[in-house]
Amino acid sequence: MEKKYKTKLDPKTGLLRIIALRRFSDVRKGEEGGLIEKEENLSQKGDCWVYRNARVYGNARVYDDACIAGNARVYDNAKVFGNALVRGSAGVFGDAKISGYTWVRGCACIYGNVKLYSTDSDIGTSIKNNKDYVILIIERKFYIVSLSNFESHLNGVNVSTVDEDYLKNIQTIRQVYGKEI
C-alpha cells in the first residue's frame, strides 16, 4: 500500500504533524495537515484527512473518506468514518461513532456511546450550535434545542456554546427548506 502521508514531530505539542505524500481529494502533495498522536489515528487508505488546526489523539480513529477540520478534536476511543465531517470547534470523544454523511460543526460535543449515522448526502445528520440554542438537523427535519446555562444534554449528545455566527437569519432556512422549525 502506497502511503498518503508522513509525519514529523511538532515540538510545541508533542504530537505528529501530517504531510501529504501525494495528491488526493482536495489535498495537495506536500500540504501540511493537522496533528495526530500516532499513525493509527488516521488511516493511510481512502481520502480521510485531518486539516491544519485539527487534532486526533488517544485511541481515536479517522478512516474511509472522513475529514476533521477547523479546530476540531477527536480523541479517546471515538471513531469518525464514512463521509463524515467534524469541523469548527467541535469535539468527538469517549466511545462516540460518527459515520455516513454526518456533519458535526460549531462547538458541538459528541461523546459517550453516541452513534450518529446518515446514509444519504442530501439528508445527512447535522449538528451545529449557537450560544442560545442548537439546531439539530436529522433527515431534513429541524429540531431546536434550547440551551440552558450554556449547555444541554440530548440523548448523550452534549451541545455547548460559542459559535456566534450561526443562524443569523432563521427565516432564510424556513424559506429554503419550506419547513417550520
Classify each residue of 69-101 as buried b or exposed e, where b means 16 or more C-beta atoms within 10 Å of its C-beta. bbbbbbbbebbbbbbbbbbbbbbbbbebbbbbb
Strand partners, 62: 42, 80
Q: What is the pLDDT of residues 31-53, one digit of tens each?
A: 999 999 999 999 999 999 999 99
Number of structural domains the chain divides into:
1
Q: Report d(CA 176, CA 171) in Å as an integer.
A: 9
Judge if pTM exceeds 0.75.
no
Compute how many other C-beta atoms are within 10 angstroms of the C-beta atom of residue 21.
14
The answer to whether residue 1 scores a pLDDT higher than 90 is: no
The more confidently predicted of residues 29 and 108 is 29
Residue 20 C-alpha from the chain's centroid: 20
pLDDT surpassing 80 at residue 101 = yes
Q: What angle do CA 114, 148, 168 make, to 5 degrees?
A: 90
Could you tell me the residue range of the domain that residue 149 belongs to?
Answer: 5-177
- In this prediction, residue 121 carries a pLDDT of 56
Calculate ∠ Cα 57-38-5, nearest 5°: 110
